[in-house]
Amino acid sequence: MKIAVAGTGYVGLVAGVCFAEVGHDVTCVDIDESKVKLMESGVSPIYEEGLEELMKKNNATGRLHYTTDYASAYKNAEAIFIGVGTPEMPDGSANLSFIATVCRQIAENVENDCLVVVKSTVPVGTNDKVEQFIKDFLVRDVKVEVASNPEFLAQGTAVRDTLHAARIIIGTESKEAEAKLMEIYKPFNLPIVSVKRRSAEMIKYACNDFLALKISYMNDIANLCELVGADIEDVAEGMSYDARIGQRFLNAGIGFGGSCFPKDTKALRYLAHEVGYDLRTVDAAVEVNKRQKTRLFEKAKDRMITFAGLKVAALGLTFKAGTDDLREAPSSENIKLLLEQGADIYAYDPAGIPRAKQQFPEGKIDRGTMNYVDSPEEALKDANICFVFTEWGEIKAVKPEDYKRLMRTPLVYDGRNLYELEDMKNAGVEYYSIGR
């Protein structure tokens, strides 16, 4: 099928590449000419495992194209997928301006009947507005239907999550739209859950917010474990055998980040308030996560007289391993506080440094300095204190004795619980983690 995809970020580009991989003819649309040329050369603008390999493969087959010419991409497409961003507004609502721009471009250029599919995460009821908006601006006498097809990608595993999804959610208002989406997804050979549009929109938020709740609950329990002398890892293991709870998302840490959970919890909370309902469980998850992100800093602040003039090793910058994304990353809030306190930070991350430099340029910042290094060992050399923010394999490979050997003062605050308490104690490391 001839498919156009608007947007080449995590949602749009991954979807377009995977559609081409299963045999569709796909054109990815972006407004940035330099980005289009980069993708045409087989280089991915985002850090995502396996994506470049599939781009090069499908570029070569001729099934995958890139363009800034949205008019030509949309005019004869049988289906147009919208995968542009819906960033968070100051009040927590979703900014739909990028979707509106694409919808008007579609309305003014489409020349045949087609299906418009919204993959972007949008508030419940948005697809109804999208369909009406497109009809309001249609130039030609063609039939355009709108469907909801929310994505469920985890950054770092987005390609696998698309090609081997647990299920595909489609939301339609007609049998024709449902049949077309079924045809598009047939080559994936995956379970398809077909519902109404508003239900599909809600499923996306309900899933993400439930996982955010699970993370915040475990972090809350971890904090209580510290106070009563229990071990959160023992607690999580005991919980994991209960099939009603499951094994995933039970790890305690320094809170969730990224482009989905923080934004989606706030968006659903805003939507609930708009209709006069308080989602108190989601409110609690947001508040717990906000406090959890700086828990390590507060622990260290209680221990130290000052951070001024101290060499602080920061291991890991991205919000999780396997991505270069720093959006809502706990490291950012901690680094900001440490710089304000006068710390000299030496940061290591295998993928996130280029993006981190946009937020924290090298050199003097506030009372401290920001430095980037090429290895964990370089960050740890003669450091007075170390914070572990991300569970990269390169950081996990640092042994307890390495902290003792390399650091001036082997004092470690670990937000990912990477080490056994006994191992760090035996190595002579003063070690603080979460919930233990």
Query: Which residues are marked as active site?
Result: 260
Please spell the DSSP secondary structure of 19-41, one letter per residue.
HHHTT-EEEEE-S-HHHHHHHHT
Q: Answer whether 249's CB lies under 8 Å from 218's CB.
A: yes
Strand segments (E) across 159-207: 168-171, 192-195
Residue 302 burial (10 A CB sphere; 0-12, 13-18, 19+): exposed
Identify the three-state secondary structure at position 10.
helix
Write the single-letter amino acid at 82: I
In 10 A of CB 41, how many CB atoms? 11
How many whole angstroms separate alpha carbon 131 and alpha carbon 146? Answer: 6
The tokens for 210 are 């439930």
- φ and ψ at 417, to 5 degrees? 50, 50
The string of DSSP codes covering 245-307 is T-STT----S---SSSHHHHHHHHHHHHHHTT---HHHHHHHHHHHHHTTHHHHHHHHH-S--
276 with 98: CB under 8 angstroms?
A: no
Residue 98 sits at φ, ψ, to 5 deg, of -70, -40
